[in-house]
Amino acid sequence: MSDNNLQNEGIGAGLTKEEKKEQKRKEKEEKKEQKRLAKEAKKNKKAPMDPARKKKIIKRSILGSVAGIFVLFIIVSNIASANAKPTVFTYPVGRGDVEQTINTSGSVVSGETKTYFAPVSIKIGQINVNAGETVNKGKPVLTYDETDLSNEKRAAELQLQVNEGGYNSSVQKNNESLGDLGEANVNLNVLEQQITDIDNHVKDLERQVEEKKAALAHEGALLQISLIDWADEPDSDEYENLQKLVQMNAYEQTNNEQIRAWEEEIKTYTEMLNNCKEYKAEMKAQKNSAESSKMNEGAKQELEAKNELENIASQETLDAILATESGIVAEFDGVVTEMNVVEGKTPVVGDQLFKLESTEDVKVSISVSKYDLEKLKVGQKATVTIGGMVYDGEVSKIDKMATKNSSGASVVGTDIKILNPDENIFLGVEAKISISTSKSEGVLLVPFSAVNADVDGNFVYAVENGIVVKKPVQTGISSEMDIEIKEGLNENDQILTEVSAGITEGMEVMAVPQQ
């Protein structure tokens, strides 16, 4: 086989199907041209060629040769291109420090806010700080009308006296009722015994009177019988004595001194008995009245509790008045963000007066995505930039509940406390935040763009001995530019930072190292 044939076979081996067809078509055209030139040469031998025709033939030969050379050049170029290795730029794996940060922005807000409510219902005298103005700790934001304040103070003091007087009066009345009840109970017991004793004595006297009268009547009856027996001897001494005895008996029955004494005693004791019964009735009425008016244990507890509540309320009012004699003062340095009252008006107790937001305790409220949430921890340091001023910050709070932002994505609210605030900070302005979530020093680093991912995990394309190699890697933290490589690469390994569509694993490439 000739060198030309070998060359043609070598050339053909690197051509595409379309290029081979084009090559065969060119070869056929060349053969036809060669045959035509051969015929022309024979004719020229037989007959002399005129100069014009000869010139034309020479011109065609030159053009054909040029065309053949051009086709050959294209074929050779295609073969060279097909056999050339792709050029790739590689970068060495380096070692250095990397810091992972979360960069975002948020609004400056106060970390301490207090809403002040009216402690007393007193007319507002003067407002010293308007909405939007600052106030120092201990300074009065507003004061009350002095006349109204004095009147309310005196009223509160009098109310305490009224409460105490009412309580003491109730206690005194209860004590009097208890005294009446005790007296009635004692007297009733005594009266019951006295009435019983007097009644028994009266009955005993009445019995004695009856017995005495009966005895005298019996005696009179016996004398009458004896007188009858002696009636046939009317002139006898016996009859005469019996008559005297009968007369004396009759007199005794109606005028017996013992009976009269007993009857007088009965009258006296009966009067005493009636008096005791009347007094007993009075004591019963006193007992009933005392029992109805005295307080039981529950009523006493209620009275004491009510008195204590009234005293607490009155004392709180008085204390509130005393505490506001110098006005409502700011409890910390801050800005009055709301003023809800005007001078000359009297607020109701509990009405909102104003709102104070601290300028000493300030923070930046941000929202982080679910991707950044796992990087965040309370206590992480941050850099806060407000209007060109840079402040130290710290993650102070991470909400435990996600919310939806304006785009419908789930975000978690986070607070960045400003550690060194000053007078240049204004509430409500925007602040730029950079949170340092992690830092590694002296570790292997590659550009972030060099790391790819598939179903098996992260990997990097490296070039080893002119061959593209796919190397699985274990990554660590990353910055905006670099990413830490924990496993899978060594320092100074040559890697591809960008991979074009034509580059595949196992391909031979021409590596051009870069720094």
pLDDT band at 50; cut points 50, 70, 90: very low
- 3-state SS track over 268-331: HHHHHHHHHHHHHHHHHHHHHHHHHHCCCHHHHHHHHHHHHHHHHHHHHHHHHHHHCCCCEECC
Task: Establish whether domains 114-144+328-355 and 149-303 are of one fold.
Answer: no
Q: How far is CA 402 from the centre of its chain?
A: 15
| pLDDT of residue 66 exceeding 70 | no
Asked whether the beta carbons of 397 and 415 are under 8 A apart, the reply is yes
| pLDDT of residue 28 exceeding 80 | no
How many Å apart are CA 215 and CA 218, to the nearest integer? 5
Q: Is the pTM of this model over 0.85?
A: no
Of 392, 427, 430, give the one whose Cα is nearest residue 134.
Answer: 427
pLDDT of residue 207: 94
User: CB under 8 Å, gap of 24 or more: what pairs does 280-283 form?
Assistant: 280/187, 280/188, 280/191, 280/192, 280/195, 283/183, 283/184, 283/187, 283/188, 283/191
**Averaged pLDDT for residues 302-319:** 89
DSSP lists the bridge partners of residue 464 as: 467
pLDDT band at 300; cut points 50, 70, 90: confident
pLDDT band at 58; cut points 50, 70, 90: very low
Out of 1.10.287, 1.10.530, 1.10.20, 2.40.50, which CATH number does the structure's domain 149-303 have?
1.10.287
**Averaged pLDDT for residues 489-510:** 88
pLDDT band at 472; cut points 50, 70, 90: very high
pLDDT of residue 14: 45
At residue 78, what are phi and psi to the nearest 5 degrees? -65, -40
pLDDT of residue 236: 87
How many Å apart are CA 477 and CA 438, to the nearest integer? 7
Angle, helices 257-293/146-229, rounded to nearest 10 degrees: 160
pLDDT of residue 114: 95
Residues, the chain: 515
pLDDT of residue 18: 58
pLDDT of residue 67: 41
SS3 479: coil
| pLDDT of residue 406 exceeding 90 | no
pLDDT of residue 22: 63
**Averaged pLDDT for residues 173-201:** 91
| pLDDT of residue 16 exceeding 70 | no
DSSP letter assigned to residue 488 = S
CATH, range 87-98+441-513: 2.40.420.20
| pLDDT of residue 79 exceeding 70 | no
pLDDT band at 379; cut points 50, 70, 90: very high
| pLDDT of residue 337 exceeding 90 | yes
pLDDT of residue 437: 87
Mean residue pLDDT of the chain comes to 84
pLDDT of residue 295: 86
Sign of the C-alpha dihedral, residues 236, 241, 246, 251? positive
| pLDDT of residue 169 exceeding 60 | yes
CATH, range 360-438: 2.40.30.170
Helical (H) or strand (E) element with 152: helix 146-229
pLDDT of residue 35: 66
pLDDT band at 498; cut points 50, 70, 90: confident
Domain formed by 114-144+328-355, architecture: Beta Barrel (2.40)
At residue 506, what are phi and psi to the nearest 5 degrees? 90, -5
| pLDDT of residue 65 exceeding 80 | no
Asked whether the beta carbons of 106 and 416 are under 8 A apart, the reply is yes
Domain ranges of the chain: 87-98+441-513, 114-144+328-355, 149-303, 360-438
The pLDDT tens digits of the residues spanning 443-468 come to 999 998 899 999 999 999 999 999 99
**Averaged pLDDT for residues 75-95:** 69
How many Å apart are CA 362 and CA 460, to the nearest integer? 45
Asked whether the beta carbons of 347 and 148 are under 8 A apart, the reply is no
Asked whether the beta carbons of 361 and 137 are under 8 A apart, the reply is no
pLDDT of residue 60: 45
